[in-house]
Structure 1
Amino acid sequence: MHRISVKMKLIKGKEAEYKRRHDEIWPELKLLLKEHGIKDYSIFLDAESSSLFAVMKVENPALLEELPKHPLMRKWWTYMKDLMLTNADDSPVADPLAEVFYLE
């Protein structure tokens, strides 16, 4: 199992809406993520900096490369783009984080 983490940026003042949308995440999106091998997925917020830190376990990282092409993933990104910094294709700006410590 591989662990992947990224840092994203939330727009100040959008914290409650971001949480609400994730509390109501679409069941079909949850299924899509699981079908692509994502397990144990968490997103943390640093309220002071509005930084989001996502951590997930992935069976096969190569499967993640297919997600940006999926219409449902693209629909979610469009739905979320008013809350966070995004790229031209509406995907979130996500900077990979290097693991420096892990206690199992």
Structure 2
Amino acid sequence: MQRYGFRMRLRNDAVRDEYVRLHRKIGQEVLDAHRRAGIRNYSIYLAGRDLFAYFEAEDPAASLERLAREPIMKEWWALTGPLMETDVSGRPVATTLPEAFHVD
């Protein structure tokens, strides 16, 4: 299992509460899509407009590609996309963060 950290960004400070609200009521279908993609132990932390995320997967890149093919994710990204910096396909722009420290 590999650990994967990345950064995303909200468009502005005004959308912060809506972003948190959407994630507090996230649908089971979205959670199931993450599991089918092989994503485990997923957390997102918020600091100002910056979103710092972490998950574990056997192959993080392959898991993200599988997740992007899930139909429910297109619906989810249609909700979250207006709140976040996104690419032309509507997927959140994510910058991989190199691990600086880890202890079990």
Letter matched to residue 14 of structure 2: G
Kindly indicate which of the two structures has a greater share of residues assigned to helix: 2
**Aligned pair count?**
102
Q: Find the counterpart in structure 2 of residue 103 from structure 1.
A: 103
Deviation (angstroms), 1:52: 0.4
Q: Find the counterpart in structure 2 of residue 63 from structure 1.
A: 63
Provide, for residues 59-89 of structure 1, a one-character-per-residue CA deviation record: whole Å limited to 9, x for no partner: 3332332221221111111111111111111
TM-score by length of 2: 0.91
Q: List runs of 5+ in structure 1 lacking aligned partners.
A: none
Q: Find the counterpart in structure 2 of residue 54 from structure 1.
A: 53
TM-score by length of 1: 0.91
Deviation (angstroms), 1:25: 0.5
- The DSSP-based 3-state class of the residue aligned with 2:13 is coil
Quote the sequence identity (%). Answer: 37
Report if aligned partners of 2:33, 2:70 keep a CA contact under 8 Å in 1. Answer: no
Measured in 2, the distance between the counterparts of 1:87 and 1:63 equals: 18
Q: Tell me which moved more, 80-89 or 52-61.
A: 52-61
Q: List runs of 5+ in structure 2 lacking aligned partners.
A: none
Root-mean-square deviation (Å): 1.1
